[in-house]
């Protein structure tokens, strides 16, 4: 008996995605897909958001994990499963394995953030910390899988997993049948492989566009036949994948229309827009679709676009840094450095000028130790809120007119 080649896209079918949709009903949330008028105003497209960050574990990964777990024989379920992940896949497998009473071992790199380890343990999985990278963790997982005869749950390169992720498209087109374009983040390619398969079957005219970060353009390289380098620290670690799937690559080549690359800055802007305009939390990977709209708005102009907000697991302190950086980029939070004579009353004078013009001082730092400061002088870093950029500039002009030497500090240049 010869099965299909591992990377034959014919293995991934709409019929199996429909079966997966029936299977997960009631166990995985049918998340809302709602119009987002404020994002429409921001981008010029007619934007709809599929809130996969509202899943129990905060990400879509539950769908594929549950379909895979359900496909196992009783004997396999009794032996248990193993997965390597520092992120959403870990929690998706742990949660549904826990629900179904299947023993799950999750191998994570030793430097995985505490909160992710704790969440995975809380769902009932055994967490093994091994290696400094995912590749090293994978080595330990290979050893454990062989030793204990565990079943692998791959995060993307598995037809069952892809069929599970594809259920998102069935829901989206039932909830918003008029969608014309779906914009889908790509890590290993499981999500977009499932979505493209189901969406094109349901509505052949629909466009399916993938998004990767410029730092990890693996699927883009495969799609366009270019050599690429995948490296660097990205805010979208959920799609920072070096080894894209073989099966997913075949499916993407056959069924996806295009792949766009987005910058870190666009991803930050998108996270901020979700937070401040939609009051919802997107992790970097989850915001990649919106980042594509911000980066190439003309391409999506006036089209009905469905964004898959695929995950919301981001460190809240990172989130707050992003918000502050966006305020600074918009000119609504202004940081300046003022060289002052070190005498009483100077701070009061500066604060009064800013306050009288309705600037709102939020932070002051006073330094006397810098080597470039005259021994009798000091520098003062002042951060204040302004209505907008021109308002902030008027305040700075007023300070200069009073004789102060003022320069703008760049984002990240302040001492903190």
Q: How far apart are CA 41 and CA 125, in angstroms?
A: 43
Instruction: Tell me if residue 256 falls in helix, strand or coil.
Output: coil
Q: How far apart are CA 63 and CA 85, in angstroms?
A: 16
Choose the binding region for a copy of itself from 7-15, 53-61, 135-143, 337-345 (rule: CB under 8 A).
Answer: 53-61
Nearer to a copy of itself, 38 or 242 (CB): 38
* CB-CB neighbours of 80 under 10 Å: 19
Q: Let me know: does 207 contact 181? Beta carbons within 8 Å.
A: yes
Q: How far apart are CA 278 and CA 345, in angstroms?
A: 44
* DSSP letter (8 states) at residue 132: S
Nearer to a copy of itself, 149 or 320 (CB): 320
For residue 278 the two structure tokens come to: 């939609």
Nearer to a copy of itself, 121 or 246 (CB): 121
Classify residue 137 by burial, with Cβ atoms within 10 Å: 0-12, 13-18, 19+.
buried
Task: Please identify which residue in 139, 142, 342, 385 interacts with a copy of itself, judged by CB under 8 A.
Answer: 385
Nearer to a copy of itself, 105 or 313 (CB): 313
Output the smallest distance, CB 383 to a copy of itself, in A. 11
Task: Please identify which residue in 85, 197, 313, 383 interacts with a copy of itself, judged by CB under 8 A.
Answer: 313
Residue with tokens 């997965």: 83
Backbone φ, ψ for residue 293 (5° rounding): -65, -35
Choose the binding region for a copy of itself from 17-25, 68-76, 100-108, 386-394 (rule: CB under 8 A).
Answer: 386-394
Output the smallest distance, CB 89 to a copy of itself, in A. 17
Task: Please identify which residue in 54, 353, 373, 398 interacts with a copy of itself, judged by CB under 8 A.
Answer: 54
Task: Please identify which residue in 6, 10, 37, 405 interacts with a copy of itself, judged by CB under 8 A.
Answer: 37
Tell whether residue 369 is a contact of a copy of itself (CB under 8 A): no
Choose the binding region for a copy of itself from 8-16, 112-120, 151-159, 239-247 (rule: CB under 8 A).
Answer: 112-120
Q: How far apart are CA 75 and CA 112, in angstroms?
A: 31
Tell whether residue 329 is a contact of a copy of itself (CB under 8 A): no
Choose the binding region for a copy of itself from 144-152, 206-214, 224-232, 380-388 (rule: CB under 8 A).
Answer: 380-388
Q: Give strand pairing partners of 367.
A: 379
Q: How far apart are CA 314 and CA 322, in angstroms?
A: 11
Tell whether residue 56 is a contact of a copy of itself (CB under 8 A): yes
Q: Let me know: does 21 contact 167? Beta carbons within 8 Å.
A: yes
Nearer to a copy of itself, 196 or 271 (CB): 271
Tell whether residue 279 is a contact of a copy of itself (CB under 8 A): yes
- Concatenating the DSSP letter of every residue in 346-378 gives HHHHHHHHHHHTT-EEEEEEEES--TTS-TTEE
Q: Let me know: does 400 contact 336? Beta carbons within 8 Å.
A: no
Q: Let me know: does 209 contact 184? Beta carbons within 8 Å.
A: yes
Output the smallest distance, CB 376 to a copy of itself, in A. 19
Nearer to a copy of itself, 32 or 374 (CB): 32
Output the smallest distance, CB 93 to a copy of itself, in A. 17
Task: Please identify which residue in 280, 373, 409, 414 interacts with a copy of itself, judged by CB under 8 A.
Answer: 280
Q: How far apart are CA 378 and CA 185, in angstroms?
A: 49
Q: How far apart are CA 269 and CA 324, in angstroms?
A: 11
Task: Please identify which residue in 153, 168, 281, 380 interacts with a copy of itself, judged by CB under 8 A.
Answer: 281
Tell whether residue 130 is a contact of a copy of itself (CB under 8 A): no
Nearer to a copy of itself, 105 or 112 (CB): 112
Residues that bind a copy of itself (CB under 8 A): 29, 32, 34-35, 37-38, 53-54, 56, 58, 114, 117-118, 275-276, 278-281, 312-313, 316-317, 319-320, 323-324, 332, 360, 385-388
């Amino acid at each position: 008996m010869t099965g299909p080649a591992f990377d034959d896209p014919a293995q991934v079918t709409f019929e199996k995605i429909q079966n997966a949709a029936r299977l997960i009903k009631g166990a995985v949330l049918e998340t809302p897909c709602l119009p987002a008028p404020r994002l429409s105003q921001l981008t010029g497209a007619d934007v709809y958001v599929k809130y996969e960050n509202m899943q129990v574990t905060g990400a879509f990964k539950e769908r594929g994990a549950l379909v895979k777990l359900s496909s196992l024989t009783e004997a396999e379920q009794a032996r248990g499963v193993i997965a390597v992940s520092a992120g959403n896949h870990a929690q998706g497998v742990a949660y549904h394995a826990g629900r179904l009473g299947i023993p799950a071992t999750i191998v994570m790199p030793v430097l995985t953030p505490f909160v992710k380890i704790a969440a995975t343990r809380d769902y009932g999985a055994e967490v093994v910390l091994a290696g400094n990278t995912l590749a090293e963790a994978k080595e330990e997982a290979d050893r454990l899988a062989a030793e204990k005869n565990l079943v692998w749950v791959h995060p993307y390169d598995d037809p069952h997993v892809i069929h599970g992720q594809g259920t998102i498209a069935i829901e989206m087109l039932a909830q918003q049948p008029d969608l014309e374009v779906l914009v889908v983040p790509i890590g290993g390619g499981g999500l977009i492989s499932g979505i493209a398969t189901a969406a094109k079957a349901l509505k052949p005219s629909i466009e399916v566009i993938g998004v990767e970060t410029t730092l990890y353009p693996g699927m883009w390289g495969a799609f366009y036949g270019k050599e690429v380098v995948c490296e660097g620290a990205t805010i979208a670690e959920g799609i920072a994948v070096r080894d894209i799937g073989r099966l997913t690559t075949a499916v993407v080549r056959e069924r996806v229309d295009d792949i766009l690359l987005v910058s870190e800055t666009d991803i930050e802007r998108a996270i901020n827009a979700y937070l401040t305009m939609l009051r919802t939390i997107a992790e970097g990977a989850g915001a990649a679709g919106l980042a594509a709209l911000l980066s190439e708005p003309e391409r999506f102009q006036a089209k009905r676009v469905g964004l898959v907000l695929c995950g919301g697991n981001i460190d809240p302190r990172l989130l707050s840094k992003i918000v502050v950086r966006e305020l600074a980029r918009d000119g609504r939070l202004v940081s300046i450095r003022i060289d002052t004579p070190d005498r009483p009353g100077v701070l009061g004078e500066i604060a009064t000028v800013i306050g009288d013009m309705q600037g709102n001082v939020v932070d002051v730092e006073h330094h006397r130790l810098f080597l470039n400061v005259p021994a009798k002088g000091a520098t003062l870093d002042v951060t204040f809120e302004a209505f907008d950029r021109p308002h902030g500039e008027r305040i700075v002009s007023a300070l200069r007119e009073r004789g102060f030497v003022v320069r703008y500090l760049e984002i990240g240049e302040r001492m903190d």
